[in-house]
Amino acid sequence: MTMKTVFKKTSGLTDKPTHYCPGCTHGVIHRLVGEVLEEMDILEDTIGVASVGCSVLSYEYFNCDMTQAAHGRAPAVATGVKRVLPNRFVFTYQGDGDLASIGISEVIHAAARGENITVIFVNNAIYGMTGGQMA
């Protein structure tokens, strides 16, 4: 009998166990992003930008080059990275408190300028790092 692999870990993620709270969607979203990076065969050409909030530790999970940005400033950092390294795939990974609150102007202006970056917006509706207040 031949065994068929039904499920395997994507090479787009590291082997680090997750730190997220039970029920949090960050882990699922990490897997989806990791799978896409692997399927597109761009892991070696990708740079991610993690911002403040629960998403800040995403650099420990994605198996690509990552950098950090100040709270709400990931689109600005990603813009700089993309302009210096135009042949790389550059993405931000941001939660709702970071992107839709303090960083809303950054993402609006990046979009208005037509920056060639991808912004991943994780809306889990809470400020998880400061006690779980509604976002």
pLDDT at 124 over 80: no
Q: What is the pLDDT of residues 63-80, one digit of tens each?
A: 999 999 999 999 999 999
What secondary structure, in 3-state letters, does 46-62 show? EEEEECCCHHHHHHHCE
Q: Look at residue 21 in the predicted model and tell me its pLDDT.
A: 80
Percent of all residues in the chain with a pLDDT value above 90, rounded to a whole number: 61
pLDDT at 106 over 90: yes
Looking at the 3D structure of the chain, how many domains does it have? 1
- Is 89 a domain residue? yes
- Is 94 a domain residue? yes
pLDDT at 14 over 90: yes
For residue 95, what are the β-bridge partners? 122
Task: Give, as one character, the DSSP assignment of residue 15.
Answer: S
pLDDT at 32 over 90: yes
What global pTM score does this model have?
A: 0.89
**Which residues span the domain enclosing 63?**
26-31+40-123
* Average pLDDT over the chain, rounded to an integer: 90
**Residue 124 contacts by C-beta under 8 Å, 6 or more apart in sequence?**
24, 25, 26, 54, 95, 96, 135
Q: What is the pLDDT of residues 78-90, one digit of tens each?
A: 999 999 999 999 9
Q: How far is CA 27 from the centre of its chain?
A: 11
Q: Cβ(40)–Cβ(72) under 8 Å?
A: no
What does the alpha-carbon distance between residue 60 and residue 133 come to, in Å, rounded to a whole number?
A: 25
- Is 11 a domain residue? no
Strands (E), the chain: 46-50, 65-68, 89-95, 118-122, 126-127, 133-134
Percent of all residues in the chain with a pLDDT value above 70, rounded to a whole number: 93
Q: Look at residue 96 in the predicted model and tell me its pLDDT.
A: 86
Give me the CATH number covering residue 92: 3.40.50.970
What does the alpha-carbon distance between residue 10 and residue 17 come to, in Å, rounded to a whole number?
A: 14
